[in-house]
Structure 1
Amino acid sequence: MLLKIKALDPLFFRDGKPFTMGEDFWAEGFFPPFPSVFYGALRTAFFAENPSFLPNATTDKDPTLNLRIRSILLMNGETIYFPCPLDVVKDKEETEVQRAYPLQLSPAGRSSNYFLPQVLTVPEGREAETLSGALLERLTFIDYLSGSQEALPYRMISEFVTEEPKIGITLDRQYRRAEGHKLYRIGMKRLAPDRGSGLATKETSFLVDYEGLELPNKGFIRLGGEGKVAGYETIERKWLPQPAPFGEKRFKLYLLTPAVLANGWLPEWLNEKDLTGNYRGLSLRLLTAAIDKYVSVGGFNIKENSPKPMKRAVPAGSVYCFELLDGDPEQVQDIFHYRPMEENSYSREGFGTVLVGGVST
């Protein structure tokens, strides 16, 4: 089921950093939000429509137990965008255009202390710079998954979202008056471009793919901090890129959503020493990876009335390149494409969804 969610107000999504009013004055935001934000929002929307089921929430009879988030994407107008893969870079010398270039898989040097058998190298003749906050349009992303080495035009999230900082002060709960020394500022975001920039003209929305829950075709949900309102509607659209064929038993797994993994940056089915493992009948070896610094995933446990333990997650856009040592290559797509890299308690909330792509050398 696909939901198109359009914000009616500026939104704020907290990151994993602690924030105590009176001690801190600036609350950092995180965008795009984690899949768990929508997992909680859809559950809340269901109980708002079906209040008689509320006593069963967080019990074995909870009607939302089968809810599963598959993916979260951004849409600008009717164009779908994917987080830019971390195995592509921009050329420092190209200042007038926004083009990214895929890194190339090459053998690691014998004299290096790099512990993976392959490295990702910059295309010859280019001076590379990493990309942060970049997006690839759907058709461009399909070219990327196919293993194309051609330049990839990209856009920046900042082109579609406008920063609108908000200043507030904490109110005393009993007397509803301002408390001293508790002024704060939060980074609200309006899902529309800055009209004066000339970069984009259409509003941005979220595209949420989920299953296991019945909701009306249209409605409203509360989203993010301060319970801001967003409207949603069910849509039918073919958006999922098909897995690209790959040769020589090599392929890449691209993280569509952040992943909370058992072994930090590695899934539980990979041996940390030799980086080989077996997963659903496939024997695999990790060749190399392109990942960024971790993001902190938290949340609040309503049942326990306490914060959830903070977890480190591999960010969306990260890429893992594998070699198939044993098994049917045709099964790679069935086993991995649009499925979690690791099945755990976070994967049902939408964490760790991967897409299969081709590898070029």
Structure 2
Amino acid sequence: MSHTLQLLPRDPVIARDGRPFGDAGVTRQHVLPWLLPGTLAGAVRTLLGRKAGQSFDADTIESLKSVSVHGPFPVSDGQLFLPAPGDALATADGRCVRLQPAALPQGCGTDLPAGLMPVLPPQDCGLQKYVAVPAWWSLESIAEWLCGQPDAGWLGNAERFRMAATVDERTHVRIDPESLAAEKQKLFSTQGIVVDRLLDPSGKSHPAELVCRVDSMAPDYRRILDCLDALVPVGGERRTIRFRAAEGADSGHLQCPAAIGTRMANVRPGDRIRMVLAAPALFSAGWRPGWLNSDSGRVGVVPVPDGSGILKVRLLATANQRWEAVSGWSYETRGPKKVRRLVPAGAVYFFEVLSCESLNWSNLWLQSVCDEVQDRRDGFGLALWGLQD
């Protein structure tokens, strides 16, 4: 059973990156541009365990790890915002250009794995310098992009987009408890990401909150989620966010747009589609999903929710940025987690459909496509689906 939670940030959130800080002699702490899914999943599960009065023994930990947490995503001015797709570039005159798999001219080559095509801008764009698009797109804009509908002046509507979260940096000193004076050489700084206000491309500030989806089969946890309203520490320094059960229109933000469901319902074998990652993904084969396990890693069956049908695809091309790292501290093993490589949010995979038997595309919206079940429950690899022009 799914529950949608509203997250109302009270403080800038500290989501540290992997660089040393503190005892290593480093006096400046750095943050990631956005909360990783595992950070939120840990906060939600800890909250559920405490609300249920559990002791966090081995059985309880396994029960809590079975709770799926997907998010967080920002909501601003009543609109859900999702990461910008990696196949979108902006030109100097404000046009939005779509990258597409394309064959290279005769005599040109790449070092891509056999059979994969490069992604290129349209030929009529010519040689020019492209710039990055805004970091966050409204759900309406994402739906239009995935359906291939945006017009030439599309990027000019600032209300549809939000920039990356701003960073709040604070300088601290360590106080001697006896003299109540600052200790020498104990000056340090911390950073937090401001997630309760986001800027649009014009520089105007908009209030924002976060939203996430929690799935649990345990009756005790479902009862807690039904009427949840609590302040929860998330990230470093116990910065707090208010978690509460979403009601009314707020509970429908994470549902598949009707336009996507309608257009994708017409997909047949031989058609070309796109998969856009709305959350960083963990794959056993690095940048390539492990479920692409046939035809030299190009063909496979997409993991879909039970009862949603079968989707078999052939990989044609991919557009993504360099890998990101995730690690952290495990409260289960009382030790550091191993560093793992993430495919960043916004990465796009271009597929040819080989089979889509009895497929319900709406059930695939914002569902994880990671290889491992636990990574899916932790909210990594949430996917959006659309057509390829």
TM-score using structure 2 length: 0.79
Shift in Å, 1:262:
0.3
Shift in Å, 1:199:
2.9
Partner residue, 1:33: 35
Q: Secondary structure at the match of 1:36?
A: helix
* Contact persistence 1:88–1:130 (CA under 8 A): no
Which consecutive unaligned segments of at least 5 residues does structure 2 have? 303-309
Partner residue, 2:381: 352
Q: Secondary structure at the match of 2:31?
A: coil
In 1, distance between residues paired with 2:340 and 2:180?
A: 35
Aligned equivalent of 2:110, options 104, 109, 113: 113
Shift in Å, 1:192:
4.2
In 2, distance between residues paired with 1:347 and 1:262?
A: 13
Aligned equivalent of 1:199, options 191, 198, 203: 203
Q: 1:61–1:304: structure 2 CA closer, same or farther, 3 Å change rule?
A: closer
**Which is richer in helix?**
2
Q: 1:117–1:162: structure 2 CA closer, same or farther, 3 Å change rule?
A: closer
Shift in Å, 1:272:
8.6
Q: 1:198–1:250: structure 2 CA closer, same or farther, 3 Å change rule?
A: closer
Matched, 1:341 2:337: no
Shift in Å, 1:205:
1.3
In 2, distance between residues paired with 1:105 and 1:142?
A: 20
Aligned residue pair count:
350
Matched, 1:270 2:292: yes
Q: 1:162–1:278: structure 2 CA closer, same or farther, 3 Å change rule?
A: closer
In 1, distance between residues paired with 2:180 and 2:103?
A: 65
Shift in Å, 1:67:
0.8
Shift in Å, 1:130:
4.4
1:4-15 → structure 2 map (5 Å cutoff):
4-15=6-17
What is the alpha-carbon root mean square deviation over aligned residues?
Answer: 3.0
Matched, 1:70 2:81: no
Which consecutive unaligned segments of at least 5 residues does structure 1 have? none
Look up the equivalent residue of 2:291 and give its one-letter code.
W
Partner residue, 1:220: 231
In 2, distance between residues paired with 1:61 and 1:36?
A: 15
1:123-202 → structure 2 map (5 Å cutoff):
123=122, 124-125=124-125, 127-131=128-132, 134-148=135-149, 150-151=151-152, 152-153=154-155, 155-158=161-164, 161-169=165-173, 180-193=184-197, 199-202=203-206
TM-score using structure 1 length: 0.85
Shift in Å, 1:330:
5.3
* Contact persistence 2:45–2:65 (CA under 8 A): no
Once the two structures are superposed, residues 158-211 of structure 1 have per-residue CA deviations (whole angstroms, 9 ceiling, x without a partner) of: 4xx44320112457899998665443212123334489x973343221111111
Aligned equivalent of 1:103, options 95, 99, 105: 99
Partner residue, 1:49: 51
Look up the equivalent residue of 1:348 and give its one-letter code.
R
**Which is richer in strand?**
1
Shift in Å, 1:101:
2.6
Q: 1:112–1:273: structure 2 CA closer, same or farther, 3 Å change rule?
A: farther
In 2, distance between residues paired with 1:32 and 1:25?
A: 22
